[in-house]
Amino acid sequence: MAARHLIIGGGTAGMNAIRTIREEESERSAITLVSAENPYSRMVLPYYLDRSIAESHVFTATGKVLADWGVTTHLGKRATTLDTKANVCTLEDGTTVAYDDCLIATGSSAVRAPVPGADGPGVHSFWTLDQARGVIAQIQPGSHVVMVGAGFIAFTILNSILALGAKLTIVEVAPRILPRMIDDIGAQLVEAWLKKHGVAIRTGAKLTRIDDLKRRRRLKMAAGGDLVADVVIMATGIRTNLDWLKGAGVTIKQGIVVDDHLRSSVPNVYAAGDVAEGRDLISQANAVHAIEPTAQEHGRVVGANMAGKDIRYRGSLIINIVEVCHLDVASFGAWDDAQAEAASGVKADRPAYRKLLWRGDRLTGAIILGPSSDIWTTNDVGMLKGLVQSGVSLGRWKAHLKKNPFDVKPAFIATKTTSALLPVTILGRPSKAPGETPVAV
């Protein structure tokens, strides 16, 4: 009998796993997808918000495509229990799905600040497609949007809100913006840049409640005066969707603990993406990396292993980039490692900042800020990722970069980073193009 693979979650990890199973398997298997939502990409929702793409553009696989791939689907239904002894998953409507192996890729959900009124009318999260639709329906030119939270997710929709002609105020309880993406100096530069571009920012600002004023909302602040908004967006963090696994017998710490093949403590149960606590490429310790690139790599590794290959995963690298008002902001790896040796530089004539961090003579983390019109920003973003990812020995270039943190390219080329990178692939073979997934015959 053909193997029965169960994929729980239709996000980036789940969809990459499905495609990779089809690419790698020697014998056609049965794949079942259980997903609370139709598969789409959260990454592109900001571009749907500003209407630069149609809603249809966000979907990563239509019903027809899933049928072509030979996937049995249970869409719009949540998995509620996983019996890892009987190898059966039960869905919220009572449907049961038996499997030989399964992938847990149930992702994360947005959480709201725990204040009265946070669930009231006119208060939105921006995480799912449904929530995006809710926000789109509310923002008009001239609307005053208050975004609660100044983290990465908030910043991904900042340009879109401004593009819609809305006035934006960001309130953040922490003393600074982007606390988990860049350091203090970088945050100051971004904050100054945004204020120059008309975004009001209040840091160290504690929201105490949200009152409904008929069509508008009043945000009561602990100090500094209240705010009145047409639309409130709560970008106050995400939480992994793991509650449903209570009693499943799968070891969970920060996430589902996985080995170097992304297997959980139950050998025929894999985890990938936001819910997985897997190896970090730099520290080699386990960590949850709730970012798109990790979900993608995890998903492909799981898919190959489910298809019978023996793919060991080297670990995921934290990489983040966001553009706000034509300023690129990116960070890599262990950019907040207090024990690392660090060097930084700010350009006086333009909003450009670099911070490089080393352990020994290997680059282990980096922060980069620069105008998105500046080709060197974009190219250096990639090369810094290459240096961190490959861990090449920088030798004498380390001292040079400490003095000249903007001179990345000669260091990258002369340390033969390209030679170190070229043999590396995630699956031990060249990647296939998105359209090359084998279809059912």
Partner 1 sequence: MSVLRIHPEKCTGCLRCELACSYMQTGDFQPAKSVIRVSPFEGHTSYAPYTCTQCAEGWCMTACPVGAITINAVGAKDVLDDRCVGCKLCTIACPYGTMFYDPATRKAFKCNLCGGAPACAEACPTAAITYEDVTTEDWLGDFARERTERVLTGVQ
Q: Decide if residue 413 touches partner 1 (CB under 8 A).
A: yes
Site string for partner 1, 360-389 (x = CB under 8 A): ------------xx-x--xxxxxx-xx--x
Q: Decide if residue 88 touches partner 1 (CB under 8 A).
A: no
Smallest gap from Cβ 71 to partner 1, in A, equals: 16
Per CB under 8 A, the list member of 260, 308, 418, 440 interacting with partner 1 is 418
Smallest gap from Cβ 61 to partner 1, in A, equals: 10
Q: Decide if residue 57 touches partner 1 (CB under 8 A).
A: yes
Q: Decide if residue 393 touches partner 1 (CB under 8 A).
A: no
Beta pairing partners, 256: 252, 276
3-state DSSP of 314-381: CCECCEEEEEECCEEEEEEECCCCCCCEEEEEEECCCCEEEEEEEECCEEEEEEEEEECCCHHHHHHH
Q: Decide if residue 70 touches partner 1 (CB under 8 A).
A: no
Smallest gap from Cβ 123 to partner 1, in A, equals: 26
Per CB under 8 A, the list member of 79, 287, 330, 356 interacting with partner 1 is 330
Q: Decide if residue 43 touches partner 1 (CB under 8 A).
A: yes
Site size with partner 1, rule: CB under 8 A: 65
Site string for partner 1, 22-41 (x = CB under 8 A): -------------------x
- Longest pairwise C-alpha distance within the chain: 67
Per CB under 8 A, the list member of 30, 257, 325, 426 interacting with partner 1 is 426
Residues 6 or more apart whose Cβ sits within 8 Å of residue 371: 326, 327, 328, 350, 351, 352, 377
Per CB under 8 A, the list member of 1, 86, 285, 422 interacting with partner 1 is 422
Per CB under 8 A, the list member of 27, 223, 430, 441 interacting with partner 1 is 430
Tokens describing residue 420: 């170190």
Q: Segment near partner 1 (CB under 8 A), from 197-205, 246-254, 255-263, 292-300? A: 292-300
Burial 157-177 (b: 16+ CB within 10 A, else e): bbbbbbebebbbbbbbbeebb
Using the Cα atoms of residue 404, residue 355, residue 423 and residue 285 in order, give the sign of their dihedral. Answer: positive
Q: How far is CA 181 from the centre of its chain?
A: 12
Q: Segment near partner 1 (CB under 8 A), from 79-87, 191-199, 257-265, 420-428? A: 420-428
Q: Which is nearer to partner 1, 146 or 157 (CB)?
A: 157
Q: Decide if residue 127 touches partner 1 (CB under 8 A).
A: no
Smallest gap from Cβ 396 to partner 1, in A, equals: 5
Per CB under 8 A, the list member of 160, 169, 320, 364 interacting with partner 1 is 320
Smallest gap from Cβ 41 to partner 1, in A, equals: 4
Q: Decide if residue 294 touches partner 1 (CB under 8 A).
A: no
Smallest gap from Cβ 425 to partner 1, in A, equals: 4
Site string for partner 1, 300-319 (x = CB under 8 A): x------------------x
Burial 181-200 (b: 16+ CB within 10 A, else e): bbbeebbebbbebbeeeebe
Q: Segment near partner 1 (CB under 8 A), from 132-140, 198-206, 294-302, 342-350? A: 294-302
Neighbours of 341 (CB within 10 A): 14
Tokens describing residue 248: 């499943």
Specify whether the CB–CB gap between 335 and 353 falls below 8 A.
no
Per CB under 8 A, the list member of 51, 246, 350, 409 interacting with partner 1 is 409
How many residues are present in the chain? Answer: 441
Q: Decide if residue 54 touches partner 1 (CB under 8 A).
A: no
Q: Decide if residue 84 touches partner 1 (CB under 8 A).
A: no
Tell me which residues touch partner 1 (CB under 8 A): 12, 41, 43-44, 46-47, 52-53, 57-58, 60, 292-293, 296-297, 300, 319-321, 323, 326, 328, 330, 332, 372-373, 375, 378-383, 385-386, 389-390, 396-397, 399-400, 408-410, 412-419, 421-422, 424-426, 429-436
